[in-house]
Structure 1
Amino acid sequence: MALLELNNMSVHYGRIQALTGVSLHVEQGEIVSLIGANGAGKSTTMRAISGVRPLSGGTIRFDGEDITKLRADLRVVRGICQSPEGRGVFPGMTVLENLEMGCYTRKDKAAIAQDFERVFELFPRLAERKSQVGGTMSGGEQQMVAIGRALMARPRVLLLDEPSMGLAPQFIQQIFRIIREINEQGTTVLLVEQNAQQALSRAHRGYVLETGRIVKEGTGAELLADPSIKEAYLGVA
């Protein structure tokens, strides 16, 4: 049984159909990458999983339970947490306050303290800047805050939406290395990413989304070797 399963999922924005019959699954312990061009429906897929975008068809199952109509906040409690596209850092709050927002559903103070330590081990730069306000940080630092905040909810599946967008090359390498480390520590990851090379080289499996439909799936290595994907996403003819 998959940890997360989308079955024939469709989403509309008014009369516009953004997703058509999307089916994918994420197994416990995997990194699964969802790649596609701008406007393919990647972020809509993430919003639907998080519960902030209603489905017009299909179902979402998490750990065997149908959560299609479950409220977004209750999905966080179940263990689905997202680091959104654009990072969504609270600009007037400090790093520490931003991280605290990630654990608002939790009461286990000892475990929360352990998770703060974990985040600061993953992101030593945040440990140095606990009292700095989010709005004064670089894009890469804000991405660290956003991922750290999601981890503070202790997710069973971490949804990462375009974590490398707008980042300098050195930050991109660092963020993807940390994503691998988070996964090795036991967190399942669903990664939406335009940087297909980085995403697929770290993924156990991947899916390709085009104009709201899944058109290919396979292991990360299979998709990286696919000539049509090389041409469309990796700039290799």
Structure 2
Amino acid sequence: MLLELKDVSLAYGRIVALHGISLTVDEGEIVALIGANGAGKSTTMRAVSGLRPVLKGSISFDGQDITKMRADLRVIRGVSQSPEGRGIFPGMSVRENLEMGAYTRRNRPEIDKDLERVFGLFPRLKEREKQSGGTMSGGEQQMLAVGRALMSRPKLLLLDEPSMGLAPMLIQQIFDIIVEINQQGTTVLLVEQNAQQALSRAHRAYVLETGRIVKEGTGAELLHDPAVKDAYLGVA
């Protein structure tokens, strides 16, 4: 087991956003978290990446308790996040943005190798290597955010709403690339409002409602679950 959350609760001030959730991610999986806005999906990601402290419960990663570990040390351990809203550096070039993703690393030949891997996954980024991130389209910025997260060579890649605001054709492309990244050996935890795309790619998935996990199963099981269809897939 690569990641385990046990009875994790988290609050913003007095508002409790997660109510004792437990989930696991095994090495080599794509695991999806689906749910409506405000269900606690992004909050779960922030708990895993260390951007928000947990009230109670524990988080273990690769056999180590990381509940109180600083976010930057989690990156070094192998947890990397592509955040909701992308969070790229608009004044930096594509290449500089990608190199920022490797800030914890020192081995130049290995960094260059990973740059080539990212350019292989996202040829558009190679074409725009010298262009500043802020002048790129939403789809290109999303590619850049995912590419930057890969530059730390993570064991676990956290993807928060990778398809948000993208055209349907690009959404398909981004999800195909997520599958390719996974097939290359990176475990993926995916938060996504596009439940159809997420469940059709995920090995397993959890459904969150108001900070609680209400369903779990394989991607295929949840894709065909009548309640999930009704609530999240727009079909009865």
The alignment's TM-score, normalised by the length of structure 2, stands at 0.99
Verify: 1:230 aligned to 2:229, yes or no: yes
Residue number in structure 1 paired with 2:118: 119
Write the mapping of 1:145-160 to structure 2, written as runs, cut at 5 A. 145-160=144-159
Find the aligned partners of 2:149 and 2:108 in 1 and give their Cα distance: 17
Give 1:108 shift. 1.3
Structure 1 runs of 4+ off > 2 angstroms?
Answer: none
Write the mapping of 1:38-187 to structure 2, written as runs, cut at 5 A. 38-187=37-186
Runs of 5+ consecutive residues of structure 2 not aligned to the other structure: none
Give 1:109 shift. 1.1
Give 1:199 shift. 0.2
Residue number in structure 1 paired with 2:193: 194
C-alpha RMSD of the superposition: 0.4
Give 1:170 shift. 1.2
Find the aligned partners of 2:103 and 2:62 in 1 and give their Cα distance: 23
**Once the two structures are superposed, what CA deviation does each residue of 1:160-180 show, in whole Å capped at 9, x if it has no partner?**
000000001111011000000
Aligned partner of 1:47: which letter? R
Aligned partner of 1:227: which letter? P
Give 1:102 shift. 0.2
Find the aligned partners of 2:164 and 2:95 in 1 and give their Cα distance: 23
Q: Aligned with 1:54: secondary structure?
A: coil
**Once the two structures are superposed, what CA deviation does each residue of 1:67-101 show, in whole Å capped at 9, x if it has no partner?**
00000000000000000000001011100000010
Matched pairs, number? 236
Identity of aligned residues (%): 76
Find the aligned partners of 1:135 and 1:63 in 2 and give their Cα distance: 35
Find the aligned partners of 1:113 and 1:138 in 2 and give their Cα distance: 25
Runs of 5+ consecutive residues of structure 1 not aligned to the other structure: none
Find the aligned partners of 1:87 and 1:208 in 2 and give their Cα distance: 23
